[in-house]
C-alpha cells in the first residue's frame, strides 16, 4: 500500500501510466496489481498470471488467520513439550535429591542425627544451604566424600535452574513474538479492510458508470428503434398503396386481355397466325383419338375418344383432387410438381399410354397455373411459335403490323 501511495504522490500511478502509455518518458510507474491487471491482455497480465495468484481480500484474511492459528498451535505444542521436559527434569532432580539425601543420611546417621533434616526438604536452595552448613561440622570424618556430594548437588541444582531459566526466557521471547505477530496481523487486517472498502467503492463506481452507459445506449437504441418503426409503418403504407394499384392494374390488364381476346377471335382464329387464343386447361383430343383408333373401329373410335376426354375434363374440375407436391430447389425457390405416384394418373398411363398421360398432365398444369382456384378452362393469348403466354404489347404490335400489310395491299 505504501509502495502504491509513493508512486501516486509522485504522479506515476496507474492512471498516469494509462494516460502516457504512448510516450511514458524515462520515469518508472508502479501500482498495486489487482484483478483487472491480472486479467489484462499483454505482458503485464501474462507476467501476473505466470508469477502470481489472484486472491480476494477474504482469501488473504483467511490465510493470515490460518497462519496465525498455525503459529499459535505450534507455540502451544512447543510449550507443552517444554513443560513435559521440565516436569521430567524436575522428577529426575527430585529422585536424585532424595537418593543423595538418603545416602548422606546412611553415612552420617551414627555421628550426626541432625542430618535427617536434609531428607525432610526437597527445595534446591534449602537443601544446598543445609548441606553446606551442616556437612563441615558433622561429616568431618568424611571430608572428601562430603565435598564431592556437595559439588554434585550444587552442579545438578545449577544445571536444573539454568535450564529452567532458559526455558522461561525462550517462553517469554515466543510470547513477545506472538504478541508482535498479533499486532502485525491486526494491522494488516485493518489495512486489508480499508483496501476492501476501497475496492468495493471502486467496484460500485465502475458498476454505476457501466449502468449509466448501458442506460444511455438503451435510450439511443430505443430512439433508433422508434425511428425504424415509423419508417416501417410509412413503408407499409406505401407498399399497401402500391399493392392496391398493382391489383387494380392487374385487374384492368386482365379485363383488357379478355376484351382483346373476344374482339380478335375471328382475326386470330387461323392456325397460320403466330398469336392465337388458347384454352388453358383444356385436354388436347389428339392423343385420345390416336389411342382409340388403335383399339376401336373408325366410327366407334371418335365417340370413345370424346367420352374419355369429357370424363377426364370433369376429373380436372374436381377440387378435392390435387395431385401436386411442393419442392424447394437449390436457390430456395418453391415449385409445384405433379406427383408421379398418383393412383389416377398412374392408372391412366398404364391403360392408355404416355401420350394420353402427357395430354392430361399438361392440361392439369395449365389449370393449376392459370386458374388454380376455379378449376375451369380459361382463354389466354398464346405465342404458338415460342410456346408461351403472349404479352399484350407483342399482340397489339402484331395486329398493327397486319393492318399495315392489309393497307398496302389495298392501295
**Using an 8 Å Cβ cutoff, are 192 and 57 in contact?**
yes
In DSSP terms, 275 is beta-bridged to: 383
* pLDDT, mean of residues 244-268: 71
- Distance between CA atoms of 75 and 83, rounded to whole angstroms? 12
Highest mean pLDDT among 28-42, 58-72, 265-279, 324-338: 28-42
Q: Is residue 131 scored above 50 in pLDDT?
A: no
pLDDT per residue as tens digits for the range 364-385: 888 888 776 656 777 777 777 8
**Using an 8 Å Cβ cutoff, are 291 and 356 in contact?**
yes
Residue 306: CB partners within 8 Å, gap ≥ 6? 285
* pLDDT, mean of residues 242-260: 76
> Distance of alpha carbon 4 from its chain centroid, rounded?
36
pLDDT per residue as tens digits for the range 31-73: 888 888 888 888 888 999 998 888 887 887 888 888 878 877 7
* pLDDT, mean of residues 185-202: 80
Q: Is residue 411 scored above 90 in pLDDT?
A: no
Amino acid at each position: 500500500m505504501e509502495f502504491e501511495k509513493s508512486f501516486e504522490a509522485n504522479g506515476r500511478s496507474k492512471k498516469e501510466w494509462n494516460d502516457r502509455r504512448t510516450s511514458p518518458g524515462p520515469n518508472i510507474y508502479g501500482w498495486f496489481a489487482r484483478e483487472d491487471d491480472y486479467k489484462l491482455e499483454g505482458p503485464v497480465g501474462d507476467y501476473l498470471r505466470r508469477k502470481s495468484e489472484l486472491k480476494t481480500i477474504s482469501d488473504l484474511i483467511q490465510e493470515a488467520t490460518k497462519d496465525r492459528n498455525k503459529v499459535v498451535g505450534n507455540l502451544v505444542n512447543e510449550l507443552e513439550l517444554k513443560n513435559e521436559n521440565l516436569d521430567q527434569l524436575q522428577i529426575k532432580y527430585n529422585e536424585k535429591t532424595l537418593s543423595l539425601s538418603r545416602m548422606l543420611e546412611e553415612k552420617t546417621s551414627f555421628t550426626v542425627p541432625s542430618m535427617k533434616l536434609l531428607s525432610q526438604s526437597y527445595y534446591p536452595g534449602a537443601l544446598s544451604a543445609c548441606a553446606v552448613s551442616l556437612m563441615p561440622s558433622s561429616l568431618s570424618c568424611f571430608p572428601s566424600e562430603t565435598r564431592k556430594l556437595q559439588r554434585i548437588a550444587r552442579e545438578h541444582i545449577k544445571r536444573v535452574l539454568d535450564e529452567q531459566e532458559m526455558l522461561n526466557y525462550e517462553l517469554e521471547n515466543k510470547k513477545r513474538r506472538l504478541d508482535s505477530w498479533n499486532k502485525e496481523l491486526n494491522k494488516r487486517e485493518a489495512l486489508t479492510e480499508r483496501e476492501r472498502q476501497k475496492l468495493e467503492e471502486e467496484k460500485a463506481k465502475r458498476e454505476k458508470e457501466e449502468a449509466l452507459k448501458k442506460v444511455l445506449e438503451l435510450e439511443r437504441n430505443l430512439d433508433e428503434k422508434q425511428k425504424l418503426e415509423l419508417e416501417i409503418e410509412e413503408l407499409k403504407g406505401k407498399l399497401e398503396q402500391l399493392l392496391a394499384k398493382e391489383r387494380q392494374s392487374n385487374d384492368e390488364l386482365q379485363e383488357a386481355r379478355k376484351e382483346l381476346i373476344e374482339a380478335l377471335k375471328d382475326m386470330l382464329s387461323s392456325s397460320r397466325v403466330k398469336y392465337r387464343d388458347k384454352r388453358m386447361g383444356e385436354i388436347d383430343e389428339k392423343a385420345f383419338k390416336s389411342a382409340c383408333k388403335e383399339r376401336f373401329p373408325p366410327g366407334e373410335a371418335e365417340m370413345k375418344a370424346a367420352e374419355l376426354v369429357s370424363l377426364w375434363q370433369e376429373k380436372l374440375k374436381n377440387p378435392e383432387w390435387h395431385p401436386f407436391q411442393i419442392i424447394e430447389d437449390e436457390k430456395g425457390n418453391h415449385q409445384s410438381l405433379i406427383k408421379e405416384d398418383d393412383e389416377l394418373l398412374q392408372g391412366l398411363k398404364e391403360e392408355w399410354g404416355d401420350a394420353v398421360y402427357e395430354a392430361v398432365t399438361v392440361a392439369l398444369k395449365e389449370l393449376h397455373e392459370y386458374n388454380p382456384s376455379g378449376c375451369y378452362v380459361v382463354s389466354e393469348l398464346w405465342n404458338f411459335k415460342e410456346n408461351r403466354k403472349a404479352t399484350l404489347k407483342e399482340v397489339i404490335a402484331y395486329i398493327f403490323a397486319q393492318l399495315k400489310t392489309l393497307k398496302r395491299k389495298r392501295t
